[in-house]
Amino acid sequence: MSEIIIKRLTDPFFNSLKLQVLQEIEDIFFESSAKKTFKSEKEKLDLKWKYLGFYLERYPDFVWVAFSEKVLGYCLGMPITQDDELYLAQPHLKVFEEQYKDYPAHLHINCHAMARGQGIGTRLIEELEREFRAMGVKGVHLMTSIDARNRKFYQRLGYDYECELPYLNTPILMMGKKL
Ligand SMILES: CC(C)(COP(=O)(O)OP(=O)(O)OC[C@H]1O[C@@H](n2cnc3c(N)ncnc32)[C@H](O)[C@@H]1OP(=O)(O)O)[C@@H](O)C(=O)NCCC(=O)NCCS
């Protein structure tokens, strides 16, 4: 495989590849999602907007892409989680509002199933963290669950703050890292 390039989605490198890259990010998103069946096309579109479309539209400069002939993974986020439009899309985020003074930024990450366990996720997260740090952001967080395999991945990267709270009877694990 040729060299793995990690760049922002808005980097001119992706200009002529934009449609391919957006489609492959979407494919990785749905492949990585726990939800596989949808009652309607609208339900599918809503899920895509919630965790992907919102960021692509509103915060494209905070989308990092790993690419080698095709997209291998992406990491996206935003520096300030306390945002009314975001809360509308992801109401569960409000439950953790108290924690956002120490961990204001957040991220989502997914790698292609064939590209996991090769350090690509680590490199992607480091790019976004570097960006937040350069902006003077105090901390970053993400949401997962206590028994998820990715929990160890985040712990190894320094996400040593954990807070589990229920939303609609489902426990959600917030993990945070000071920057
Ligand atoms: C979690 C993920 C982004 C990590 O990226 P990566 O490039 O695979 O990770 P790295 O190679 O840098 O580090 C390896 C670690 O990632 C985690 N990992 C590897 N494959 C994984 C998989 N299929 N699912 C979940 N975590 C995985 C493990 O903690 C692994 O460490 P281990 O081998 O000691 O168990 C990636 O594996 C992935 O997309 N997993 C599935 C979707 C997911 O869990 N997304 C995060 C939602 S909160």
- For ligand 1, whether the C-beta of 87 sits within 6 Å is no
Which pLDDT does position 11 carry in this prediction? Answer: 98
Give residue-wise pLDDT tens across range 90-135.
Answer: 999 999 999 999 999 999 999 999 999 999 999 999 999 999 999 9
Query: What's the CATH code of the domain at 101?
Result: 3.40.630.30
The count of domains in the chain is 1
Q: Using most ligand atoms within 8 A of CB, pick from 29, 35, 47, 153 the residue to mutate for ligand 1.
A: 153
Which pLDDT does position 1 carry in this prediction? Answer: 62
Which pLDDT does position 2 carry in this prediction? Answer: 81
- For ligand 1, whether the C-beta of 111 sits within 6 Å is yes
Average pLDDT along the chain, 179 residues, taken 10 residues at a time: 92 98 98 96 98 98 98 98 97 97 98 98 98 98 97 98 97 98
* Residues in CB range of 67: below 8 A, 6 or more apart: 4, 5, 6, 7, 14, 17, 21
The Cα 106–Cα 100 span in angstroms is: 9
Q: Using most ligand atoms within 8 A of CB, pick from 50, 116, 123 the residue to mutate for ligand 1.
A: 116
In angstroms, what is the span from residue 59 Cα to ligand 1's centroid? 24
Residues in the chain: 179
- For ligand 1, whether the C-beta of 124 sits within 6 Å is no
pTM for this predicted structure: 0.97
In angstroms, what is the span from residue 103 Cα to ligand 1's centroid? 22
- For ligand 1, whether the C-beta of 51 sits within 6 Å is no
Domain with 163 in it: 5-178
